[in-house]
Structure 1
């Protein structure tokens, strides 16, 4: 029985790894921190896997653990870095359209309040339903809808129109 549970969890973790890391990056983590966050969420999920795997939406549970872990980590860390107006381009060796698009999306998301970032990432990157997103964030479905609406309205279409431009 335990081998079945372990195999089931391993298959789940392997299949969702890239999605979890991508969501963590879009929630504001660096690539390394995103991998750490995804791993921490999966470690916490593993101890409750029997119950999680029987849930209607196990993904919602894992994403909730991830969002809660991120919130806890942000409260604990000191963010004494000084913001600068010009952020160095971390993608100097790779100028593909994918990197440019990723940068544009990440930059646009970081301009939004954290609650709006979370709802967009969970709805459109993690592909959770409104109900599952509400469960992950611990809010009402109506709150998910209003945050989504406000977030989409706040996005600047000009940020995405000329993705091949000179801007980093």
Structure 2
């Protein structure tokens, strides 16, 4: 069985290690974060501190967009967009990684403490009973302080998160 995480599409472009995990993993990604890739691609604002890192990440964003736009992948994504909370079929991202797009809906359940994309990540996590994987320390802090009933991992702890599920499954 593969490990599952809720995350943003841009995380897969920034953190290449997510695409080459040691064991099978499925990323559940809200569709709005896929749309955010287009905004990030077209933005003049740097995503990374160093210019060469920024160029690399923007290149990876373009590659990810192109991959999602391939006919089979696009068809899988478009099928889930007509019904709230519908999920696409799995889209392979390598030998052991796949992404499932979810047509999540922000209903402002967590008020003004979280932006719409963060709210969709949290609602997806609660709905799917899957931990959130993020690089945003402030988001992790607000989840903990707000008592939001989700498990959350920092991307720096990705390998630990993968091992933790293996440990739980073997008990």
Q: TM-score, normalised by structure 1?
A: 0.28
Report the structure, 1 or 2, having the larger helix content.
1
Structure number with bigger Rg: 1
